[in-house]
Amino acid sequence: MGATVISNEHALDGGPGPMGATYGKMMMWYFILSDALTFSGFLAAYGFSRFKFIETWPIADEVFNHFPFLHGVNAPMYYVALMTFILIFSSVTMVLAVDAGHHMKKSKVAFYMFLTIIGGFIFLGSQAWEWKNFIKGEYGAVETNGGSILQFVKKQEDGTFKRVALADFALTLPESREQHTKSNGVWFVGESTLPTYSVNEVVQGFQADESILVRSELINAEKHKTVLSRAESLKRLQEAKYVVEGANLVRNEYGHKLFANFFFFITGFHGFHVFTGVLINIIIFFNVLLGTYEKRKSYEMVEKVGLYWHFVDLVWVFVFTFFYLV
């Protein structure tokens, strides 16, 4: 649109460039292209690691099964589906703003830009909540010397297994372990936060409660994680090395270490894009209010940020598929 309005000007000042697009829009497209390749690099690397550890990779439905106000209810995917809707909807308001720009309707552009910004903030908030749950963890697990994660389950009456949290069976023994900080002891050596229970407390609690079994990382023919027998469980637990609660970049209670690393990097990189998108949208929103584009007789700038915003939505569609669905 902008191209046709100011066609008598020089190409570098916003007039038409090669292939019928203005330079501004064309370079936004090529930026998006390169950014898309960065994201596909991330997602392909995730695919590589997943195929490499195909038998032991965590099952996303079991990890992301929280929904606000439904505590303890197993709600896989509803929350990410909601986040997808939020982002798609903010894309719709963005494209409505672009459409209103084509008709030079300043107040309509401003209104839809405002809705888009709100949608962006809601999405960022949702992502923060998702990260909070992921980092905090729910059940806790034990890591062995070899780096495998052992989770704990209890057999139910219908023959299925229910996850149990460490707090449900771990003993509290009269042992004390001080949190070591940089300010005392060996110079400049600290340690990460100690878990609630020591390995010893978990192992002894496990030995005391006959109904609890270990669930290994291995995925069986029914595509569930394999639950070990009581004897095997006790044997595996002899190799226990760390108690893991929640997730960080070193270890996580969900399974393979790379799973949390990819989660943090991919959703984090995407969240960073959403954040910058919101910032740019805010700047353009104020420019719209000030009448900058009215004076310029072209709302092409709204179109360009719109491209970026839709791209963020486009990436989320792929993250949603490859992280949560597949």
Partner 1 sequence: MANAHESNTKKIWIVFGILSLVTIVEVIFGIYKPKSLFFTNFLGMNLLNWLFIILTIVKAYYITWAFMHMDGEKKWFRRSVVWTAVFLMIYLSFILLVEGDYVYNVFKTGHLKWIF
Residue whose CB is less far from partner 1, 147 or 185? 147
Residue whose CB is less far from partner 1, 103 or 230? 103
Beta bridge partners of 155: 161
Question: Using an 8 Å Cβ cutoff, are 171 and 204 in contact?
Answer: yes
Least distance (Å) from partner 1 to the CB of residue 176? 30
Least distance (Å) from partner 1 to the CB of residue 235? 12
Residues forming contacts to partner 1 in the complex (CB under 8 A) are 1, 4, 19-21, 26, 29-30, 32-33, 36-37, 40-41, 43-45, 47-56, 61, 76-78, 81, 84-85, 88-89, 91-92, 94-96, 98-99, 102-103, 144-148, 218, 223, 239, 303, 306-307, 310-311, 313-314, 317-318, 320-321, 324-326
What are 109's two structure tokens?
Answer: 């552009």
Residue from 267, 312, 268, 295 nearest 116 by CA: 312
Question: Using an 8 Å Cβ cutoff, are 265 and 42 in contact?
Answer: yes
Question: Using an 8 Å Cβ cutoff, are 138 and 165 in contact?
Answer: yes
Least distance (Å) from partner 1 to the CB of residue 186? 30
Residue whose CB is less far from partner 1, 41 or 291? 41
Least distance (Å) from partner 1 to the CB of residue 277? 14
Residues 6+ apart with CB under 8 A from 56: 148, 217, 218, 219, 255, 256
* CA gap 309, 301 in Å, rounded: 12
Residue whose CB is less far from partner 1, 79 or 263? 79
Residue from 101, 120, 17, 34 nearest 304 by CA: 101
Residues 6+ apart with CB under 8 A from 45: 262
Least distance (Å) from partner 1 to the CB of residue 136? 24
Residue whose CB is less far from partner 1, 4 or 193? 4
Residue whose CB is less far from partner 1, 59 or 282? 59
CA atoms within 13 Å, Cβ hemisphere of 68? 11
Least distance (Å) from partner 1 to the CB of residue 33? 5
